């Protein structure tokens, strides 16, 4: 409250004061946007953004982490050569430079005409977050890449075996990856054994994010709980079961970003609780989406419907069948399960937030065959196949699922479908991280529900982690532990093709073969529907990253 | 001078004559059971509770015959076009649940789980409690110290955490649930029995029994135990209320019977995200639990009042 001014000064200060008051009032009018209709296009600095998830990250070490929540948090902290454009829809699936100065291509000379040599120029003056504080150089990238190849249980190494010398290094036969060269402190040259149209995208996965050597030396294995990189937010603390808190990176190289000062990942609210908390103003973004029970209601509520955002996810949900455990080693049994599941019922149970999936590639993924249906819903056929396989009276088994709604409910629906054809499945519900461990350990889970979300929009992202020999190992994502020499050959052939059309055709052939072997019963492709709070600005859904907190602000 | 007992039944005095006149109320011999029943009958709430329990047991036993639908069958018409549960209709008397199953049938079958777990778990707890209480109270000494301190330790344990840990290690099923609830719940019974035995063992008939050469076992079972009937009955009825609630809680957190077998606690857990859009999913199982627990509490209170000799008759 301004104190009454002594007279002599008054005449000079009064106009100044009026100006100040007018300015403040003007700014307040721009900044205030109480209703969801207000278009606030000027980002505000400051504030705390709270995102709610019901799962704990398993690790924040870029070399090892592969869960959706892990990558969501990592994306705010660590960076690599490139990233996806910060736009919704198809525009967000294009690469743009991040720590590199440009995306290499044949046109700009970054990729050699034979497609085997990639030269990347680094941005200068990018610093690691405190307390490391020094500039990032090409040697840091080489270190991070080689570390990832040799990290125990690293799930992503199979994407990079095309780099010359990578396999030798991975198997311990060489001291470095000869194909990953430091030409000078700001130039990296990568040589591939054969051209690979998806390699730049593979490089954009979090596995290749840069991490300083001295930081890893300081923390050793515990670096998975103390991440550090060059991203807009730096790690502050992680209270297990409660929250992960990130704060603004003072060294960040992009001017004006991030907008918010603190980014909090709330880990303890289940989707229903998070939804209530968002309406109360305690949570800003629902990481797990709007609960299905409340979806219809909130979309019709005039107070909240503008805060609801949707996108089709390039992702799949399926039932895996462990070919290492009886009776799923029998092809006819697996095919029977593929015929037994009522996918339309599942989509209905999801409130329409999904499309039934009859093939491996979901809509939006190159290689998806519009209208193609490999199996269907035919319990009679399923029973016949089971009888042919030697199980006329069905069999008993155990079905695993995680505990995040709606998975336990969908598991019950599938259990009923299986029972209708004679398969007596007992449901075991476990928490998320236990589930990830179990499904990647051979001999543990005979069958269960699993999901796969796109890392990058290329079918090789489906084939390698889910169907290849290199992922049918402990710690891998191939929960069926299925692979086939014929598929390995087809994959190698496809990867060596430089013509995108021919390459894609090969991937479609692979889908035909995989479906005939039925290691998974594909069920649905999910839609993501979530909400943000009324004072979150700049919110949009990203096709690859889902969320982009560096570009959100608090009004 | 010894006071001889009157040979004439007290009719010699004037007061006695009044008491023994023809229009004095007849004092008939009654057994303990019928006396207790008579006093219990006079408490209307207790009788109401008993009626509810009898109905509940009948419903649970007859569930396969009176349930209109299979409780595990997921009906297509049990879900709206948006995949939400439907409300009460002629086909589904109380509506359906999140998977299109008939809620009423599930409630009936859920009663079976609640009662079976309640009865067996409580029975198991009762057995442990009576044995430990009797032995500790009668033999005293180091046996008593050992047993009662063990009981104290168990009582200090957070029982829900212990139950959660135990069930997480062992595979969840109805029998593991009974075992776990019994193990966690024997402590109050032990303490009460122990206290009662401490006072009963001082009574003269116990000395008399010992003098006539009865073994300890015979004294415990034949002479002391019958005096504990009151306490056991009362605490069992109250215990049934608690164990049923405990079962509902464990099922609510996913450690009870596994789907698709219905249990009231599990039904509340499944229906909870829908409490704003389809409140009947939590309302009916919740009411069922409440009424059952209330009924057992009323019966327990009624029994306790009936056994209490100082209780004034209404």
Chain A contact set for B83 (CB, 8 A)? 292, 348-352
Chain B contact set for A298 (CB, 8 A)? none
- Which of A345, A348, A405 is opposite residue B273, by nearest beta carbon? A405
Whether A349 sits inside 8 A of B260 (CB atoms) is no
CA distance linking residue A145 with residue A422, whole number of Å: 49
Q: Is residue A87 packed enough to be buried (19+ CB in 10 Å), middle (13-18) or exposed (0-12)?
A: middle
pLDDT of amino acid B16: 60
B120 Cα to chain A: minimum distance (Å): 24
pLDDT of amino acid A15: 53
A73 Cα to chain B: minimum distance (Å): 27
CA distance linking residue B15 with residue B34, whole number of Å: 30
ipTM of the complex: 0.71
B62 Cα to chain A: minimum distance (Å): 25
Give the closest residue to A477 by CA, choosing from A414, A418, A520.
A520
Residues 6+ apart with CB under 8 A from B299: B46, B49, B50, B53, B237
Token pair in block for residue A159 = 């994407």
All domains in chain B, ordered by first residue: 32-68+100-311 (1.10.3720.10)
Chain B contact set for A405 (CB, 8 A)? 273
Give the closest residue to B97 by CA, choosing from B74, B66, B114, B63.
B74
Whether B82 sits inside 8 A of A403 (CB atoms) is no
- Which of B74, B82, B254 is opposite residue A429, by nearest beta carbon? B254
CA torsion A150-A151-A152-A155 (nearest 10°) is: -100
Report mean pLDDT in 10-residue bins for chain B, 314 residues: 56 61 65 84 91 93 91 87 86 90 93 88 90 88 91 84 76 80 84 90 85 83 83 86 84 77 88 87 92 91 82 56
**Does the N-terminal peptide bond of residue A131 adopt cis geometry, omega within 30 degrees of 0?**
yes
Whether B83 sits inside 8 A of A349 (CB atoms) is yes
CA distance linking residue A140 with residue A137, whole number of Å: 6
- Which of B83, B99, B272 is opposite residue A412, by nearest beta carbon? B99
Half-sphere exposure of A140 toward its Cβ, with a 13 Å CA cutoff?
A: 27
The helix/strand/coil state of B259 is coil
B254 Cα to chain A: minimum distance (Å): 8
pLDDT of amino acid A146: 94
For the segment A238-276, what is each residue's pLDDT rounded down to a tens digit? 999 899 999 999 999 998 889 999 999 999 898 889 999
Chain A residues touching chain B at CB-CB below 8 Å: 271-272, 291-294, 296-297, 345, 348-352, 403, 405, 408-409, 412-413, 415-416, 426-427, 429
Portion of chain A with pLDDT greater than 90, in percent: 63
B259 Cα to chain A: minimum distance (Å): 7
Q: Which residues pair with A189 in a beta bridge?
A: A119, A181
| Beta-carbon pairs below 8 A across chains A and B | 60
Tally of CB atoms within 10 A around B82: 12
Mutate to test the interface with A, among B71, B73, B74, B167 (most CBs of A within 10 A): B74
pLDDT of amino acid B146: 92
Residue of A nearest to B279 (CA): A293
Mutate to test the interface with B, among A348, A417, A427, A429 (most CBs of B within 10 A): A348
CA distance linking residue B99 with residue B94, whole number of Å: 14
pLDDT of amino acid B109: 93
Output phi, psi for B177, to 5 deg.
Answer: -60, -45
pTM of the model: 0.77
A32 Cα to chain B: minimum distance (Å): 32
Q: Which residues pair with A285 in a beta bridge?
A: A51, A532
- Which of B83, B260, B270 is opposite residue A351, by nearest beta carbon? B83
For chain A, residues with pLDDT lower than 50 are: 1-11, 22-38
Chain A contact set for B258 (CB, 8 A)? 426-427
Mutate to test the interface with B, among A293, A351, A405 (most CBs of B within 10 A): A293
């Amino acid at each position: 409250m301004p104190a009454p001014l002594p007279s002599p000064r008054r005449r000079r200060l009064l106009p100044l004061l009026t100006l100040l008051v007018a300015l403040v009032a003007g700014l307040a009018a721009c900044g205030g946007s109480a209703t969801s209709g207000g278009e606030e296009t000027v980002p505000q600095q400051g504030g705390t953004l709270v995102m709610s998830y019901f799962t704990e990250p398993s690790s924040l070490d870029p070399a090892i982490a592969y869960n959706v929540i892990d990558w969501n948090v990592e994306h705010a902290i660590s960076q690599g050569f490139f990233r996806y454009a910060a736009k919704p829809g198809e525009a967000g699936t294009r690469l743009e430079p991040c720590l590199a100065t440009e995306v290499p291509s044949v046109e700009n000379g970054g990729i050699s005409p034979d497609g085997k040599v990639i030269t990347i120029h680094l941005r200068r003056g990018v610093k690691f977050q405190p307390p490391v504080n020094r500039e990032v150089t090409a040697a840091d990238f080489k270190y991070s890449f080689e570390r990832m190849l040799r990290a125990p249980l690293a799930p992503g190494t199979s994407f990079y075996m095309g780099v010359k010398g990578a396999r030798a290094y991975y198997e311990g036969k060489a001291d470095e990856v000869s194909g990953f060269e430091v030409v000078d402190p700001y130039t990296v040259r990568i040589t591939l054994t054969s051209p690979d149209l998806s390699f730049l995208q593979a490089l954009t996965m979090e596995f290749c994010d840069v991490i300083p050597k001295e930081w890893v030396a300081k923390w050793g294995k515990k670096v998975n709980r103390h991440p550090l990189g060059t991203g807009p937010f730096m790690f502050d603390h992680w209270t297990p079961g409660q929250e992960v808190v990130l704060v603004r990176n003072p060294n960040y190289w992009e001017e004006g970003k991030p907008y918010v000062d603190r980014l909090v990942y709330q880990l303890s609210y289940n989707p229903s609780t998070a939804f209530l908390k968002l309406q109360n103003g305690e949570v800003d973004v629902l990481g797990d989406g709007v609960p299905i029970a409340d979806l219809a209601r909130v979309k019709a509520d005039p107070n909240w419907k503008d805060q609801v955002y949707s996108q089709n996810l390039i992702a799949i949900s399926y039932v895996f069948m462990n070919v290492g455990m009886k009776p799923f080693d029998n092809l006819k049994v697996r095919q029977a399960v593929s015929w037994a599941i009522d996918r339309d019922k599942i989509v209905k149970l999801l409130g329409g937030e999904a499309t039934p999936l009859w093939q491996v590639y979901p809509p939006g993924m190159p290689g998806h065959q519009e209208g193609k249906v490999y199996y269907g819903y035919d319990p009679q056929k399923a029973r016949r196949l089971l009888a042919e396989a030697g199980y006329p009276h069905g069999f008993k088994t155990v079905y695993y699922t995680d505990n995040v709604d709606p998975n336990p409910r969908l598991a019950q629906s599938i259990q009923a479908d299986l029972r209708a054809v004679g398969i007596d499945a007992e449901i075991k519900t476990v928490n998320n991280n236990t589930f990830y461990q179990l499904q990647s350990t051979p001999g543990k889970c005979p069958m269960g529900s699993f999901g796969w979300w796109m890392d990058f929009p290329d079918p090789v992202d489906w084939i390698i982690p889910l169907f290849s020999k290199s992922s049918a190992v402990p710690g891998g994502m191939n929960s069926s532990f299925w692979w086939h020499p014929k598929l390995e050959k087809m994959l190698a052939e496809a990867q060596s093709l430089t013509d995108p059309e021919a390459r894609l055709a090969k991937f479609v052939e692979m889908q035909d073969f995989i479906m005939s072997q039925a290691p998974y019963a594909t069920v649905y492709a999910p839609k993501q529907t979530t909400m943000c709070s009324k004072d979150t600005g700049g919110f949009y859904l990203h096709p690859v990253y889902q969320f982009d907190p560096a570009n959100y602000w608090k009004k | 001078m010894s006071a001889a007992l009157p040979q004439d039944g007290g009719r010699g005095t004037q007061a006695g004559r009044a008491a023994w006149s023809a229009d004095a109320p007849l004092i008939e011999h009654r057994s303990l059971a019928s006396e207790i029943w008579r006093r219990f009958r006079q408490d209307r709430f207790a009788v109401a509770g008993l009626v509810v329990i009898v109905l509940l047991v009948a419903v649970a036993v007859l569930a396969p015959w009176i349930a209109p639908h299979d409780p595990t069958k997921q009906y297509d018409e049990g879900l709206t076009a948006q995949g939400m549960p439907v409300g009460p209709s002629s086909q589904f008397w109380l509506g359906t649940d999140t998977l299109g199953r008939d809620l009423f049938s599930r409630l009936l079958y859920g009663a079976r789980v609640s009662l079976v777990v309640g009865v067996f778990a409580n029975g198991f707890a009762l057995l442990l409690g009576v044995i430990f209480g009797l032995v500790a109270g009668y033999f005293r000494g180091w046996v008593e110290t050992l047993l009662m301190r063990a009981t104290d330790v168990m009582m200090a344990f957070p029982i829900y955490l212990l139950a959660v840990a135990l069930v997480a290690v062992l595979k969840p099923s109805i029998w593991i649930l009974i075992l776990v609830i019994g193990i966690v719940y024997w402590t109050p019974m032990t303490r009460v029995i122990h206290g009662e035995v401490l006072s009963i063992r001082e009574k003269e008939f116990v000395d008399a029994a010992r003098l006539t050469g009865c073994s300890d076992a015979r004294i415990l079972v034949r002479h002391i135990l019958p005096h504990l009937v009151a306490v056991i009955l009362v605490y069992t009825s109250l215990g049934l209320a608690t164990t049923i609630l405990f079962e509902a809680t464990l099922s609510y957190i996913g450690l009870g019977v596994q789907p698709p077998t219905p249990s009231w606690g599990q039904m509340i857990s499944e229906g909870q995200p829908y409490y704003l859009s389809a409140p009947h999913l939590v309302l009916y199982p919740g009411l069922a639990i409440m009424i059952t627990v209330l009924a057992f509490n009323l019966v327990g209170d009624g029994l306790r009042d009936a056994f209490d000799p100082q209780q004034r008759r209404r």
